[in-house]
């Protein structure tokens, strides 16, 4: 008896960018042609008419196998995607694969099929992600190693000789020119095996924004399911549309909260504090070099002060859950 056709559930998360989200969803639907499955658009409690607009457009255009859901709360990137994943397929059946796509990401021809084909051909792989590039073709770095004390020091020091010495510990991985295994990938275009999610759980909703993909890929790897970068899958990504990250004057509190949660969850509180001290030490040395050379420090103003404050002063419960915080639609 021939194997049944795999079913794919695509999830696109919206936060106050309904027109762009619809464009991403329409592109994904085009690339899902010939693939069994459905697409779910989740509005992450935008409260700006996004849900109504997207529901109306999907209905008026009679988009096939597409639903628009309301999350009911702004729980962040992972929580919003979890709403779509838990919704499953409309007939109640279980998808074999889940594909999450950012609202500002647009799969190029064959991108979704390439990820699906790769996971089918490599049953040991748990997650697979795309090569990401900007509208002008410039590559976006989305391939990484798991953070560590060494990477925290190297990343904040920004000193060539030290970076070369610990290059195998640095978080960023130079963009590969071929399909290969990595520790983790940004979630702009990421396909996951459903059986892996059933084993390790969905996104940890303790992360409001940032580090949720890092944690998910790490849990998958610990369970024996690594993550692959699939160079044949190419996606155009605008980036930072929902967060305004390119215009940040200072790093928001939820980034520090997610960073602390990641280190404490994976290595314990003592390790987390040592990682922060390593980052501060590297950052101070970086500032000393900048002072001596007349350069401007690379970090935003008050970054180290905020890092220490968030590490050693616990925020009030729910401080990063407020409706004013902006969910991230971009990976990394």
CB atoms within 10 A of CB 242: 25
Q: How far apart are CA 36 and CA 91, in angstroms?
A: 13
| DSSP 8-state symbol, 209 | S
Thinking of the domain 7-139+175-244, which architecture would CATH place it in? Alpha-Beta Complex (3.90)
Q: Residue 315 pLDDT > 70, yes or no? A: no
User: Which residues pair with residue 132 across a beta bridge?
Assistant: 235
Position 240 scores a pLDDT of: 59
Position 317 scores a pLDDT of: 40
Token representation of residue 259: 């960073």
Task: Look at the block and give the residue holding tokens 């935008």.
Answer: 46
Q: How far apart are CA 38 and CA 320, in angstroms?
A: 32
DSSP string, 130-159: EEEE-TTS-B---EEPPP-HHHHHHHHH--
Burial (CB < 10 A; 0-12, 13-18, 19+), residue 93, is exposed
Position 245 scores a pLDDT of: 52
Position 249 scores a pLDDT of: 73
Burial (CB < 10 A; 0-12, 13-18, 19+), residue 237, is buried
Query: If phi over 0 gives left and psi between -120 and 50 gives alpha, with beta otherwise, what is residue 240?
Result: left
Position 176 scores a pLDDT of: 97
Burial (CB < 10 A; 0-12, 13-18, 19+), residue 305, is exposed
Position 250 scores a pLDDT of: 83
Q: What are the tens digits of pLDDT across the range 97-152?
A: 999 999 999 999 999 999 999 999 999 999 999 999 999 999 999 999 999 999 99
Model confidence, pTM: 0.91
| DSSP 8-state symbol, 321 | -
Q: Residue 202 pLDDT > 50, yes or no? A: yes
Q: Residue 206 pLDDT > 70, yes or no? A: yes
Task: Look at the block and give the residue holding tokens 């969850």.
Answer: 265
Give whichever of 38-52, 293-307, 317-331 has the largest mean pLDDT.
Answer: 38-52
Position 318 scores a pLDDT of: 40
Cα–Cα–Cα angle for 177, 181, 183, rounded to 5 degrees:
115
Cα–Cα–Cα angle for 125, 129, 132, rounded to 5 degrees:
160
Q: How confident is the model at residue 31 (pLDDT cuts 50, 70, 90)?
A: very high
Beta-sheet pairing, 7-14 with 36-43: parallel
Tell which residue, 243, 261, 242, 260, has the closest CA to residue 252: 243
Question: HSE on the CB side for 103, CA within 13 Å?
Answer: 27
Mean pLDDT of 265-293: 97
Torsion of CA 21, 22, 25, 27, to 10 degrees: -110
Beta-sheet pairing, 189-193 with 97-101: antiparallel
Q: How confident is the model at residue 322 (pLDDT cuts 50, 70, 90)?
A: very low
Position 312 scores a pLDDT of: 83
């Amino acid at each position: 008896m021939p194997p049944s056709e795999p079913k794919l559930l695509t999830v696109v998360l919206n936060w106050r960018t309904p027109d762009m989200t619809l464009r991403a969803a329409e592109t994904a639907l085009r690339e899902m042609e010939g693939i069994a499955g459905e697409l779910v658009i989740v509005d992450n409690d935008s409260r700006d008419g996004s849900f109504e607009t997207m529901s109306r457009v999907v209905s008026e255009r009679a988009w096939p196998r597409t639903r628009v859901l309301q999350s009911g709360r702004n729980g962040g990137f992972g929580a919003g995607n979890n709403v779509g994943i838990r919704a499953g397929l409309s007939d109640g059946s279980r998808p074999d694969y889940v594909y999450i796509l950012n609202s500002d990401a647009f799969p190029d021809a064959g991108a979704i099929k390439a990820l699906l084909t790769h996971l089918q051909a490599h049953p040991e792989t748990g997650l697979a992600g795309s090569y990401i590039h900007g509208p002008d073709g410039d590559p976006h770095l989305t391939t990484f190693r798991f953070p560590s004390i060494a990477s925290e020091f190297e990343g904040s020091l920004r000193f060539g000789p030290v970076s070369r010495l610990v290059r195998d510990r640095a978080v960023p991985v130079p963009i590969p020119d071929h399909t290969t295994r990595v520790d983790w990938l940004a979630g702009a275009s990421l396909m996951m095996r459903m059986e892996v999610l059933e084993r390790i759980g969905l996104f940890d909703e303790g992360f409001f924004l940032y580090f949720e993909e890092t944690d998910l890929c790490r849990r998958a790897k610990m369970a024996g399911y690594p993550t692959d970068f699939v160079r044949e899958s190419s996606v155009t990504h605008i980036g930072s549309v929902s967060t305004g990250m390119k215009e940040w004057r200072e790093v928001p509190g939820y980034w520090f909260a997610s960073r602390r949660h990641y280190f404490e969850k994976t290595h314990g509180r003592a390790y987390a504090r040592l990682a922060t001290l390593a980052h501060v030490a590297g950052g101070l040395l970086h500032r000393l070099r900048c002072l001596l050379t007349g350069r401007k420090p690379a970090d935003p103003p008050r970054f180290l002060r905020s890092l220490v404050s968030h590490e050693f002063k616990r925020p009030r419960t729910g401080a990063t859950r407020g409706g004013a915080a902006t969910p991230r639609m971009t990976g990394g």
